[in-house]
Structure 1
Amino acid sequence: MDIGIGLPNTVPGTEPQDLLDWARQAEEAGFSTLGTIGRLVYQGYEELIALTAAAAVTSRIRLTTSVLLAPLYENAALLAKQAASLERISGGRFVLGVGLGGRDDDYAASGLSTKGRGKRFEEQIDDMKRIWAGEDRGFAGGIGPATVREGGPELILGGSTDVSFRRVAKLADGWIMGGGSPDMFAQAAVGVDTAWQEAGREGKPRKLSLAYFGLGPNARAQADGYLLDYYGFLGDAAAQVAGSAAVSADMVKSYVAAFETAGCDELIFVPTGSGLEQIDLLAAAIA
């Protein structure tokens, strides 16, 4: 199982230089990917821009939106061009993870309705894939740029319902769980694999998951401070999310073992702070 680390693009107080230093150090530490969290109504950096900055200071590590809320980007042609540009600039390292999101305020702030968003989402993905395949769209031909990976960036979809699993099988290369226990992952992974087989797809979908972490002497306070605020819209349930964060090396190790047993292909540990020591602490915990 690959182990990735999140870029602290949504952690309050993260400065632009912090993102660049974090990206460099994460690559040096040997993590498989840099992941970003998608949300509009929160103080943070937009994911495609943050990962483009990371791409400029790295050369090996994958760059994954985990996940970007695609329906907020209404212009599918423009999003396809942005994704293709980042994929090419990074030498094929970009992985486009997309989902619907779970907060109505992100849609309200965009002047969009949540009604029918699943259908719009599928149409958007179909449109982007045609663009990445080089479909003519005007006098000059296709939109471009041509991607390093044939057919466009690797496409990963989020979601936890049977409908979302069928969507993965129909449109994507893999699936990501946005949060939850290893047992929840294992159960959902069965649904994803079943949908994949029923759709007649060859091979297996790549399956990813996120897990929050915060390490060091103030780990619990750091995790609570960020997660209780970020998930405040959940009310009392925010405490459950905060409590699930890995705040010790032993918890990190147990998460790695349990997710690997559950069939996870890549586990991305999402930081609750932006101090660079978090990278080395996580690397030491999984060593």
Structure 2
Amino acid sequence: MDIGIGLPVLRPDPEVSIAGWARHAESRGFTTLGVTDRLVYDQYEPLTALAVAAGATTRIRLTTSILLAPLRANHALFAKSAATLDRLSCGRLVLGLAPGAREDDYRAGGLPFRRRGKLFDALLDRATEQWRNPDGIGPRPATPGGPPLLLGGFTGAALRRMVTHGRGWVAGAQGVENFRAHLPGVRRAWQEAGRAGAPRLVGTVHFALGPGAQQRLHTGLTRYYTSGTYTRKSIEAGRSTPEAVAREVAAYAEAGCDELILFPHGGGPEQVDLLADAIGW
């Protein structure tokens, strides 16, 4: 199983260098640099943060996990931005996409929350067509046909998007049992659509390590998700000790996960080393 680490994009500390973090993560053997996405929150814009990381690295993948795709209302411009980042990174971009479930993000973006599914479908159709046939809206992405797409969500619409446009599925950070519970439906949808091979399966986990880790994790997730069942489940699924991280990584590997991305909450660049040490690198 590949293991990635998130960039420090949530409530970012100006003293923590995105470029330095990215270089160090690559040197420690992580396979992916991940970013999450919200509009109504103090965090770096995901594609911009990945562009900085791309310029500082040469091998590591750059993954949105996930990007709130329907908020990118200009579909041609989104496709151009993604193709640019894919070309500048020599084909290292992976786009994990989902519509999201927070109405405040759409309200702030001036977009109808209840139409986010239709907006998402329209974006996928336009972007994938543009990547195949730029028709004057370049550049062509480095990856033929465009960056690999991972679709998030558990609904029938989410699985339809995955088998129509995606290379695989990305799960929310609600624990390995939640990940495992949805795999049969994901695999069945893939097979019933006649897709060759198997979908790429990506899991996500929140973590914090070192002094004050549990409090940083709890505070960070409460701020990010604000309230509700999803918040509680995310906090319960977060990991704040090296032993818990190691067990979670092993559990995801046993469940059939192809790549696990662990997202940091607080701390500085030492989180890269603490995580690498926890998983035995």
When normalised by structure 1's length, the TM-score is: 0.94
Aligned partner of 2:92 in structure 1 is: 93
Q: CA RMSD in A?
A: 1.4
Aligned partner of 2:7 in structure 1 is: 7
What is the rounded CA distance, in whole Å, between the counterparts of 1:186 and 1:236 in structure 2? 19
Aligned partner of 1:256 in structure 2 is: 249
- Deviating beyond 6 angstroms after TM superposition, the runs of 4 or more aligned structure 1 residues are none
What is the rounded CA distance, in whole Å, between the counterparts of 2:138 and 2:15 in structure 1? 29
* SS of equivalent to 1:116: helix
Q: Percent identity?
A: 47
What is the rounded CA distance, in whole Å, between the counterparts of 1:16 and 1:201 in structure 2? 46
Alpha carbons 1:38, 1:67 under 8 Å: kept: yes
Aligned partner of 1:198 in structure 2 is: 192
Gaps of 5+ in 1: 137-141
Alpha carbons 2:175, 2:234 under 8 Å: kept: no
* SS of equivalent to 2:114: coil
1:41 aligns with 2:35: no
Gaps of 5+ in 2: none
What is the rounded CA distance, in whole Å, between the counterparts of 2:12 and 2:143 in structure 1? 35
Aligned partner of 2:124 in structure 1 is: 125
Alpha carbons 1:156, 1:172 under 8 Å: kept: yes
Deviations for 1:14-69, whole angstroms, at most 9, x for unmatched residues?
A: 22752121111111111000000110000111001000001011111100011111
What is the rounded CA distance, in whole Å, between the counterparts of 1:238 and 1:117 in structure 2? 22
Q: Letter of the aligned partner of 1:84 in structure 2? A: A
What is the rounded CA distance, in whole Å, between the counterparts of 2:7 and 2:126 in structure 1? 29
1:174 aligns with 2:173: no
Q: What's the CA shift for 1:274?
A: 4.2
When normalised by structure 2's length, the TM-score is: 0.96
What is the rounded CA distance, in whole Å, between the counterparts of 2:75 and 2:81 in structure 1? 10
* Match 2:234 to one of 219, 237, 241: 241
Shifted more, 159-168 versus 98-107: the winner is 159-168
Cα separation, partners in 2 of 1:118 and 1:239, compared to 1, 3 Å:
closer
1:184-223 equivalences in 2 (<5 Å): 184-223=178-217
What is the rounded CA distance, in whole Å, between the counterparts of 2:202 and 2:230 in structure 1? 23
